[in-house]
Amino acid sequence: MVDRRRVALSGASGLVGCAVSKDLTASDYHVVALVRDSRKAETGSSVLWSPERGVFEPSRLEGMEAVVHLAGENIATGRWSENKKAKIRKSRVDGTKALCASLAGLTRKPKVLVCASAVGVYGHGKSSVDETAPLGNDFLAMVCRDWEGACSQALQAGIRVVNLRIGVVISTEGGALGKMLLPFKFGVGGRIGDGTQWMSWIHIDDVAGAIRHCIEDEAYRGPVNATAPLPVTNAEFTATLGKVLRRPTVLPLPEFMVRLMFGEMGDSILIGGQKVIPARLEAEGYPFEHRDLEGALRSFKL
């Protein structure tokens, strides 16, 4: 039997987690899901963990090649009540601290921890930002800062840590594009607000590919932007999606409606935006499968 290198993966049931699991398995890794539901932890390929307590049987993570940590309360569903915001923050910051404490206690520690973060760490703006840019200070930016900071125990234990600042993931399985497809197909899609906000998107296959690159190439450590090289404005995204679907996109969603419908969440992720450049991935020669939006959208055969 081939001795496959093992990778532990939290958030394996999510949009990104499913794609990462598929990609790593196809590249001859053995994926061990870190699951929160004890009923799912009964098989050999799952290990129970909780964002409050960390990994229940940490010895099962001895000798891992890598740990990929994606778990966190979904940001884009439901209004941001105080309770929801606390869940968004706690699930990421406390969850990452607990996981890192478990990893730091291992005898044979993983070589690398790839921990999700988000481009929201930069706050909002219209000029290009790479990994050296100053960070924002709104709610999401603060969550991302602390989420990245929560990896410190793994770092101190000598584990290479990559904080992957993920952009808007495009996939037909869910996420932003998943939600937009239906109205656009019915011809009632349109730009949001004045459409000048930037959207730093990335194709789902490139998120998975970038994570594998970060596992395999020791040059990656610290913040790494996971976005396509050619970000677009919301107006460009709207026009391109309309073109690919061959549907009109003449019904804009005014800002006040976004605020009425989605509250603070709408302000933060639909009206706000950032123009993020994947400088580290480009510098290390990551071979993007999808550099431009039209090609990326056409790959889904919408």
Ligand X SMILES: NC(=O)c1ccc[n+]([C@@H]2O[C@H](COP(=O)([O-])OP(=O)(O)OC[C@H]3O[C@@H](n4cnc5c(N)ncnc54)[C@H](OP(=O)(O)O)[C@@H]3O)[C@@H](O)[C@H]2O)c1
Q: Is 36 in the site for ligand X (CB under 6 A)?
A: yes
Q: Is 75 in the site for ligand X (CB under 6 A)?
A: yes
* Per-residue CA distances from 98 to 51, 63, 141, 215 (Å): 6, 19, 21, 21
* Residue 173 Cβ vs ligand X, minimum distance, rounded to whole Å: 9
Q: Which is nearer to ligand X, 187 or 279 (CB)?
A: 279
DSSP bridge partners of 140: none
Spell out the residues 6+ positions from residue 83 whose beta carbon is closer than 8 angstroms to its own: none
Taking a C-beta distance cutoff of 8 angstroms, is the pair 55, 49 a contact?
Answer: yes
End-to-end CA distance of the chain: 40
Could you give the count of Cα atoms lying within 13 Å of 121 in the half-sphere of its Cβ?
Answer: 26
* Residue 268 Cβ vs ligand X, minimum distance, rounded to whole Å: 12
Q: Is 297 in the site for ligand X (CB under 6 A)?
A: no
Q: Is 172 in the site for ligand X (CB under 6 A)?
A: no
Residue from 116, 192, 265, 276 in contact with ligand X (CB under 6 A): 116
Residue from 8, 61, 70, 271 in contact with ligand X (CB under 6 A): 70
3-state secondary structure of 66: strand
Q: Is 98 in the site for ligand X (CB under 6 A)?
A: no
Q: Which is nearer to ligand X, 15 or 64 (CB)?
A: 15
3-state secondary structure of 212: helix
Q: Which is nearer to ligand X, 34 or 112 (CB)?
A: 34
* Residue 248 Cβ vs ligand X, minimum distance, rounded to whole Å: 26
Q: Which of residues 175-194 bind ligand X (CB under 6 A)?
A: 175
Burial class of residue 39 in the structure, from the number of CB atoms within 10 Å of its CB (0-12 exposed, 13-18 middle, 19+ buried): exposed
DSSP state letter for 253: B
Residue from 6, 7, 8, 11 in contact with ligand X (CB under 6 A): 11
Residue from 8, 48, 71, 150 in contact with ligand X (CB under 6 A): 71
* Residue 20 Cβ vs ligand X, minimum distance, rounded to whole Å: 9
3-state secondary structure of 53: coil
Residue from 91, 102, 227, 233 in contact with ligand X (CB under 6 A): 91
Phi (first) and psi of residue 115, to 5 degrees: -110, 130
* Residue 150 Cβ vs ligand X, minimum distance, rounded to whole Å: 12
* Residue 111 Cβ vs ligand X, minimum distance, rounded to whole Å: 21
Q: How far apart are CA 73 and CA 51, in angstroms?
A: 11
Q: What does the binding site for ligand X look like in residue numbers (CB under 6 A)?
A: 11-17, 35-36, 51, 70-75, 87, 91, 95, 116, 118, 166, 168-169, 175
